[in-house]
A and B are shown apart, each in its own frame.
Chain A
Amino acid sequence: MSEVKKIATRASYGNALVELGKKHDDVVVLDADLAAATQTGVFKKEFPERHIDCGIAECNMVGIGAGLATTGKVPFVSTFAMFAAGRAFEQVRNSVAYPQINLKIGATHGGISVGEDGASHQCNEDFALMRSIPGMTVICPSDDIEAKAAVEAAYEHKGPVYLRFGRLAVPVINDRPDYKFELGKGIVLREGKDLTIVANGLCVAASLEAAEKLAADGIEAKVINIHTIKPLDEDLIVAAAKETGKVVTVEEHSVIGGLGSAVCDCLCAKAPTPVKKIGMQDVFGESGPAVALLEKYQLDAAGIYAQIKEFI
């Protein structure tokens, strides 16, 4: 087997912005002294006059982005998930979402796969925070191809969008001719009748691998990639829950308020089904290599497999 191509979705973000910038003059990119890390630096190189470094002041950056958007520009404000969704939460709520400003948030370094920087920088709460804001679209792509498509879709969508990208290089899993990104539409990646695994971000690839291990045990899992947490593809999830009778959610996020909660919110109202939420179990992360952290917190294929075996 040839080596699987791996790219961090933050790199995809930077590259997608460059492509977007070529096509649309109204795209402007804001950063808060992290252009090398968020990878908006590649956009800066191509379009220096449309890249605005706000310095280390994320709340101000969101406000400036909102102001730019009122004049017709389409700003992508970029920083780590911790500071975009966490520090600037209220600016996002009051200066962006409430007035329905057409601004996009490119939040990189989501989840524990930030690695060595440790818990202070590992945002496991951003889905919960952003999902709770009326009118906010929340996306977490699973690989390079999906991340680029998501950036394009975010631009086309009129209204605020939160995009979460990762620091760790992850396998490219969507490299196929029929791949299509539709905002709010989940993608069935594997059929199975025994349970449904709903995942996003880097947990999609790990869940597919876990599903293969389960298959070796005679358990066939349906795997759904829910790249858009909000609006959630409720029809797809309800149908899968009814079909398989059991649902497992997998995300690099707290089990409180994120994808797992969104799926439970949907199913408890429309198709009550036992759900196992795999994610960060209401704990902070810690320093360490990303891969080792994913293993420790059971968000790699082996961990997901083990937790699913326990559940079913």
Chain B
Amino acid sequence: MNKLELQKTANEVRKSIVTAVHAAKAGHPGGSLSAADIFTYLYFEEMNIDPENPKDPDRDRFVLSKGHTAPGLYSVLAERGYFPKEDLKTLRHLGSYLQGHPDMKHIPGVDMSSGSLGQGVSVAVGMALSAKMDGKAYRTYALAGDGEIQEGQIWEAAMFAGHRKLDNLVVIVDNNNLQIDGAIDEVCSPYPIDKKFEAFNFHVINVADGNDMDQLKAAFDEAKATKGQPTAIICKTVKGKGVSFMENQAGWHGKAPNDEQYETAMADLEKVGEALCQK
């Protein structure tokens, strides 16, 4: 996909996120929207995957360690054809397979259940280690939140990945700077994030704008070319990106828009979509 197609796709993913969370009357739009471009780049450009064969043993793996942004993952999976987009409206509903947090048992394309923060990177490390043990070429990606990395297990996993030189592993940090209780550097600062990963023997790439497809491409290409070390990509993003009233608001971490807000949000995204079509 070229840049414009990726941008258009990310905008469609954003619409799905807003639609799903609105229909659920609950969920986490802020961090889903901040990572929408990362999700889109991974599933439409970076990863070797096939929606027709979601259990292919040689596929690239993705672990959504920040599992509460399931609306983002589900929206990109639906956009990519793993399941009908229409189903997104059943998010969090009783009886729906689209659970509030990723459930690998029932959702096509979900490689690992997650939701309890801090656990996903360890699992991704296990997947990457397995590839190394078996001489397989697949790569493993884990997406963590910048608040999430306050969990100690993240650093246990980082230490192990660095020690084992897992260059088939990429840990992406969605650095939108906000967590439930406020700005991450006011709640309990994890900064400097890059130096911490460096200290655990990661190759670190700082992405100044993690909502920019060119910058994401450059980062993921660099990660792929990196040998002998795992890579951490620290992406500066905007929480709530694309929806005017949600941008940079901690309050939209875990809240659904009401009907009126939904209309406004969709109008914002339609506008973005139209602008992209003019290009």
Contact = CB atoms under 8 A, between A and B. Distances in A.
A259 interface: no
Interface residues of B, number: 32
A66 B123 contact: yes
A184 to B, nearest CB: 23
A71 interface: yes
B122 A60 contact: yes
Interface string B121-152: 11111111111011000000000000000000
A132 interface: no
A306 interface: no
Interface stretch (A37-45, A47-55, A164-172, A197-205): A47-55
Given A91-B119, A100-B105, A64 B57 contact: no
A86 to B, nearest CB: 15
B160 A67 contact: no
B234 to A, nearest CB: 21
B266 interface: no
Interface residues of A, number: 29
A6 to B, nearest CB: 37
B113 A57 contact: no
Contacts, number: 101
A141 interface: no
Interface in B38-97: 57, 61, 63
Contact of A71 (B105, B115, B119, B127): B127
A99 B104 contact: yes
Interface string A50-94: 101011010110111111111111010000000000000011001
A98 interface: yes
Contacts of B105: 99-100
Interface in A94-108: 94-95, 98-100
Chain B CB within 10 Å, residue with most, of A28, A55, A57: A57
Contacts of B235: none
Q: What 6 A-B pairs come out closest when comparing CB atoms?
A: A67-B126, A63-B122, A60-B156, A57-B156, A64-B126, A99-B113
Interface of A: 28, 49-50, 52, 54-55, 57, 59-60, 62-73, 75, 90-91, 94-95, 98-100
